[in-house]
Amino acid sequence: MSDEPREAFEQLAPQLGAAAVARLDIEATAAGVVQRLRADVRPWWRNGLIRLAAVMVVVLGAGVLVRSAVVERRPTVAVVSAPPELQNLAVSQLEEMLDSLELERPVADLVRPGLNDLTTSELEQLLATMEG
């Protein structure tokens, strides 16, 4: 490249964009941007989704508070697992057992019963089943 065009370019370069700069109204542009931004910013309570979420948080929080208060006041009942002897009984048998508990029969009466504890009619009945 010769020196002439190069010099011409160097003289033209500072003038590039000068017309565009002259057309710019910076203050008016900034005022417009600020005005648009202000128009977009609404208070959060005017946003439907946020309002719904806030209502849900309040309702759930209230529910948790009420529940904890009720549960704390409710008397706790200790759940005792049934002994193995009871776990295979049918409902009717368990009802029978409940009835028999109400009798409050002396424990000593039912400790290791043997033939000596049977009446004569019970012994006869037992003998009949063994002979059969």
Please give the DSSP secondary-structure letter assigned to residue 17. T
Closest approach, Cβ 52 to another protein, in A, equals 56
The string of DSSP letters for 18-73 reads HHHHHH--HHHHHHHHHHHHHHH---GGG-HHHHHHHHHHHHHHHHHHHHHHHHHH
Positive or negative, the Cα torsion across 110, 114, 116, 118? positive
The total number of residues shown for the chain amounts to 132
Residues near another protein (CB under 8 A) are: 95-96, 99-100, 102-103, 105-118, 120, 122-127, 129-131
Closest approach, Cβ 116 to another protein, in A, equals 6
Cβ proximity to another protein, 40 vs 102, nearer residue: 102
Cβ proximity to another protein, 8 vs 123, nearer residue: 123
Q: Which helix (H) or strand (E) holds 96?
A: helix 91-103
Closest approach, Cβ 120 to another protein, in A, equals 6
Cβ proximity to another protein, 11 vs 120, nearer residue: 120
Cβ proximity to another protein, 3 vs 102, nearer residue: 102
